[in-house]
Amino acid sequence: MQTSRETYVHALGYHWLDRLYDPLIRVSMREMAFKRRLVEQAGIQPGHRVLDLGCGTATLTLLAKQMHPEAVLTGLDGDPRILQIAAGKISRAGLDVQLDCGMSFDLPYPDGSFDRVLTCLMLHHLTRADKVRTLLEVLRTLQPDGELHIADWGKPASRWARVASRLVGKLDGVERLEDNLKGRLPILLQETGYVRVRQAGEFATILGTLSFCSGAKPQ
């Protein structure tokens, strides 16, 4: 996952935990259910160019390609070592998916490169400033009327979710989580120029409440 090079936050807080990420998320969060929901929410069409931003081990990237084989999938992450894990999964699946190394707030793509951008459990790793920079970069690389679809930690929906969010904060940083836990992601989308911003529901996990939201680039 991505923030500035000096304060890079790994998926579970520490690089040595990277290989535990897939089994932990799979067991603790009903991973395929919420990622399938995110892909369905995105309304991907044949020929769409789709970026999985902060792709990590490429579980979401592969799922989107499997669900939409006629779309063009790219995964981007800032950690070259976790991309090696992703590349192995893509090779074993035998699917045509591009992987790139780069930071979310400095995307290595021309303006208007994508019809859809998906991001899952990445934005909460970023400081407020890097969230804003990332949303502006995504807006730049979207086609007019292209859409950003987000699944990330949101406002806790229960007492247990509030307790669980403290554990996530210990791993990823309380200050970085603040915008998520206060439900501010849709506000940030509006403030950075997105239209048709909407909150698209919640998903309960034992680690907290996931929130789905989206926004579009003006035509």
Rounded to 10 deg, the angle between the 31-42 and 59-67 helix axes is 50
pLDDT digits (tens, 9 = 90+) for 185-203: 999 999 999 999 999 999 9
Residue span of the structural domain in which 143 resides: 5-216
- pTM higher than 0.95, yes or no? no
DSSP 191-218: HTT-EEEEEEEEEEETTEEEEEEEEE--
pLDDT digits (tens, 9 = 90+) for 6-65: 455 555 444 544 555 555 665 556 788 999 999 999 999 999 999 999 999 999 999 999
Q: Which residue has the tokens 């951008």?
A: 117
> What is the domain-level CATH number for residue 121?
3.40.50.150
Q: What's the structural domain count of the chain?
A: 1
